Structure 1
Amino acid sequence: MNVSVIREQFPILHQEVNGHPLVYFDSAASSQKPASVIEAVKRYYEHDNANVHRGVHTLGSRATDAYEGAREKVKRFINAGSSEEIIFTRGTTTAINLVASSYARSICKEGDEIVITQMEHHSNLIPWQQVAKATGAALKYIPLQPDGTIRVEDAEATITSRTKIVAMAYVSNVLGVVNPVKQIAEIAHRNGAKLLIDGAQSAPHMKVDVQDLDCDFYAFSGHKMCAPTGIGVLYGKKAILENMEPIEFGGEMIDFVDLYESTWKDLPYRFEGGTPIIAGAVGLGAAIDFLESVGLDNIHEHEKRITAYAMSRMKEIEGITIYGPQGERAGLITFNLDDVHPHDLATVLDAEGVAIRAGHHCAQPLMRWLNASSTARASFYLYNTEDEVDRFIAALLKTKEYFGHAIG
């Protein structure tokens, strides 16, 4: 994997920010886009722009082919059993809310349980709070270990025969924890429950095989994996999706409409009401082509090297606290610097051309568990280099000096 060649394909990286070459360490929030993705979206709008599934004219046919072609690419990318199991959404949040509103509310009742973890992004926490309030089901949490990981035996103790849904992130967007979701799926199924995986931080960075994981639902977003914003995917097992009702009604998703009754199209279209996100799907298909040309295994190994190097360099800085596992983790590091507010830290780093994230990362319950109101986060992707890590470290040391700390 030649990172220099890869970087050449990302136009946005070749600029200066505040007089310094850009170091973009915020890919966990949103990744940058290669020229091939930008060109695919541009080409669609310049040559094929039309609505899908409806028209018989040439542009409509080309647009439909591109849209459905992207669905086939997603199916292959995550090894779904059928393209009918691939539903295009606006992103991970919409996908999880679809499952919560359509599936969970229809099966949960008082006395049932929904099991999640305290490390969840708000998008995989609030929907389950709302289901619990609406149905009377109890919301339960698998306890976290001191380093933020979960133990399979704790999952065994938390998931019971009353559990209907287990929902958890494959990879924590704060801790970098990689959860044992395949084992959790087995535990959930043994107890008669279904597993939803929030794949927002895993799909861009590692090979995902939903059939091997045996998850019932898998949700992810395009914008974190080199695709445009506004496009995401919900994978669901066909047998489950076939018994779920739509939650958005209108064009595209209907079969027959009468004055007082209507029927729905077959999968996946019943869940894609209205004009779909056509250009976004085209961009997602192009992003999948790009990522597969690099190789997900190559991306994963590169991120492991960059993260390990960054961890080793950061641990040399006195007064830094790193959250989550201290060993192998996903490609992000969440941290704080003594007596420096994360927003101040991010501001000084930005003045040096280094872009990181600061705040609660849409994980306020986890922040309270960490006893931190907010944290800073550096996240890495296939286009980042060790030289950029060195610039990041230099900027951190400059921040310490700026705020009057003795440099360790």
Structure 2
Amino acid sequence: MASVTLANLTKEYGDLTAVDGLDLDIDDGELLCLLGPSGCGKSTTLRMLGGLETPTSGEVHIGDERVTDQPPYDRNTSMVFQSWALFPQKTVLENVAFGLKMDGVDEEERVERAREVLEIVEMGEFADADPGDLSGGQKQRVALARSLAIEPDVLLLDEPLSNLDKRLREQMQLELRNIHDGVETTFVHVTHDQNEAFTLADSIAIMNDGEIEQVGEPREIYDDPVSLFVEEFLGDTNLVDATVEETVEEGIVATTEFDEQIQVPTPNDGVAAGDPLTISFRPEEFDVSRVATDGGQLTESAAHGDVTTALEGTITDVLYRGSSVRFYIEIGGTSVFFEQSVGDETDLEVGDPVVVSWDPEDLLVFSEGERLGRGGT
């Protein structure tokens, strides 16, 4: 295994810049996920790391060696693609041993090594099978074994689970995590699926328009996003437009789409009265209860001094999502949502008046796309 360094890496196709001055360090033995939407440059970055694309500028280092201009066969890397690309006329064992054969490894050694990696991916009993008789998940494990057999310093995975159904994909995510833990290989895994990245990764690099937005451990990135793009991409949230009314010692007082003023305890450097903001109300931070029958007014517990931390609204839709139920609430003409597990008891129905409350410390505030108090990467 080996560390990886990408320095000022750029790839241009005519007038299109697919990757733009990207810097990234990957630790020896780490499983890093390149995460981002389609067209953000993540697969192009992976292909430059593997030597399948030549950078327009910048450098690629694997361990202590500069490999920027080396062809793929001179780099100790291997790639697993979306398609399995197994040889139909060869057995599973022969498919796994093929790379070793091309490297000139003698037959006895390559067969032994192929059997070892088939055991690692729990496919040992299928060594003599025809690839056409395997399921999608089994084929993907064989493709993974073929790449591991040559003992690469860095294993590159380009959305290898995207062709699997949801249940099998989730199963393979756990298996891939376990395989990484059992081999001495650095993994770089490309995906557009944030759930997959959170399941697999030691660390995540989020890409947008050919650049890295943020790098960090999964929990760190979710709890502490640097930008509105990261916050919106990593999961469902309620994004509410607001305008700064004033800055105060405790943070910002803002008028929201709810037609109400709220105060947010956030650093206020760089913003002034009249500036537009976006406030993220994550659904898991909402506490929702039916309005009391004594007139429906908010109680004193719904406010902290002069700081509004609760508003009244009305349930407009209830959406069953299998293991959870999503409730949509209209507050001052703006729709927000929260979710509950199916097992949680609730008597909320469409048309019910409710109180939506939150802890102001849980709100995230963004100005011009950057998180207040947290900007940069």
Is the TM-score greater than 0.5? no
Greater share of helix residues, 1 or 2?
Answer: 1
Higher relative contact order (CA 8 A, sep 6+): 1
User: Which category describes the TM-score, using the shorter chain as reference length?
Assistant: under 0.3
